[in-house]
Amino acid sequence: MTHLAADDRYDRMPYERSGRSGLLLPRISLGLWNNFGSDRPRQTQREILLRAFDLGVTHIDLANNYGPDGGDAERTFGAVLASDLRPYRDELVVSTKAGYRMWPGPYGEWGSRKGMLASLDQSLGRMGLDYVDIFYSHRPDPSTPIEETMGALASAVRAGKALYAGVSNYDPEQTRAAAAALAADGVPLLIHQPRYNMFDREIERGLLPVLAQVGAGAIVYSPLAQGLLTDRYLAGVPSDSRAAIGRWMTERNISPEYLETARALNEIARGRGQTLAQLALTWVLRHPEVTSALIGASSVAQLEDNLRAATAAPLTADELAAIEPLAREGVGEA
């Protein structure tokens, strides 16, 4: 049965324009990287997607290789779109990416025109879409001219298979070059998707000013540092956690330094009436260049809890000063 969306779905979520574009994105968006593959219950995934939409999360972020098996997340989203969300397609911003390995041979990864456009066609087929709203180059290709990769994005836009072009994991100079190459094809760079959180502050050293210069927004991924910036590990390592499973991190990440830092940040969060995760999201959203933050969710309850950060009060100068010595590069690294 088609989902009947909540009438008040736009009442609580604030939206911001991406750079100098006209596209509004929710302050917190839903990424389908790690919890929407064939290894998770389909009904749980459906419930998360539908609840997110009912709470104003109009942007769903994917990539060709999201899984754990490549293509899994796109197929999951496509199934929910077909069963529930198809009537609301014009209310959704759907993004996907190409650049990481997806199939054997020389065209299954990186940034050639051949690989990028073939990947986009495959993604559209998996999701059952005629177009995506944003098509990204997932990573820079050191062996392909940036003009070719950006030309592929521009071709997708001109063909109506994408509405906007974006990049991810590009450094400041690569971002400036990408924006120039797209502009030469008459297509603006809409958005950049970099990693950013309290324990990884690289984008503060050059990228944010470049985005302001070229008129692009940022949508940051991993704002919770793979769960390190939540209360998940404050009292030990749960048996079903990422650190215990060991896929993206291990128990070595839960070091004494990490625990001391996370517990101090948690006290600041409690003083604001927030969870540690909510504080971490509020912190990344403090920059005017950051349009949105991407979160994952393994349950509806986790989704709802994290989305409360979208309407949290801004951090005060005193709170920022207290956070600053704790927001250190490399905390939690094994």
* Domain 15-227+277-316, second-level architecture: Alpha-Beta Barrel (3.20)
Place of tokens 């990490």: 258
What band does 287 get if pLDDT is binned at 50, 70 and 90?
very high
Q: Look at residue 333 in the predicted model and tell me its pLDDT.
A: 84
pLDDT, greater one: 245 or 81: 81
Q: Look at residue 1 in the predicted model and tell me its pLDDT.
A: 61
Report CA 278 to chain centroid distance, whole Å. 16
Q: Look at residue 245 in the predicted model and tell me its pLDDT.
A: 60
Q: How far apart are alpha carbons 208 and 284 in whole angstroms?
A: 12
For the chain, what are the domain ranges? 15-227+277-316
> Position 138: which residue type?
H
Q: Look at residue 253 in the predicted model and tell me its pLDDT.
A: 83
Q: How far apart are alpha carbons 240 and 112 in whole angstroms?
A: 39
Q: Look at residue 246 in the predicted model and tell me its pLDDT.
A: 56
pLDDT of residue 290 exceeding 70: yes
CA atoms 5, 78, 305, 317: torsion sign: negative
Per-residue pLDDT tens over the stretch 40-58: 899 999 999 999 999 999 9
Q: How far apart are alpha carbons 24 and 59 in whole angstroms?
A: 10
Q: Report the pLDDT averaged over residues 158-166.
A: 98
CA distances from 254 to 227, 306, 333 (A): 11, 22, 8
pLDDT, greater one: 232 or 238: 232
Q: Report the pLDDT averaged over residues 192-220.
A: 98
Q: Look at residue 269 in the predicted model and tell me its pLDDT.
A: 98
State the virtual CA torsion across 225, 230, 233, 237 in degrees, nearest 10. Answer: -70
Say which range, 25-39, 216-230, 231-245, has the weakest mean pLDDT: 231-245
Q: Look at residue 240 in the predicted model and tell me its pLDDT.
A: 62
Q: Look at residue 235 in the predicted model and tell me its pLDDT.
A: 79
Q: Report the pLDDT averaged over residues 281-291.
A: 98
pLDDT of residue 251 exceeding 80: no
Per-residue pLDDT tens over the stretch 171-197: 999 999 999 999 999 999 999 999 999
Report the SS3 class of residue 169: coil
Q: Report the pLDDT averaged over residues 60-76.
A: 96
Entry pTM: 0.95
In DSSP terms, 26 is beta-bridged to 15
User: 298: closest CA among 277, 284, 282, 279?
Assistant: 277
Show the tokens assigned to 311: 């309407």
Q: How far apart are alpha carbons 315 and 269 in whole angstroms?
A: 10
Report the percent of the chain where pLDDT is more than 90: 88
Instruction: Identify the helix (H) or strand (E) that includes residue 218.
Output: strand 217-220
pLDDT of residue 237 exceeding 70: no
Mean pLDDT of the chain: 95
Show the tokens assigned to 275: 């969870």
Q: Look at residue 277 in the predicted model and tell me its pLDDT.
A: 98
Instruction: Identify the helix (H) or strand (E) that includes residue 151.
Output: helix 146-158
Q: How far apart are alpha carbons 165 and 145 in whole angstroms?
A: 17
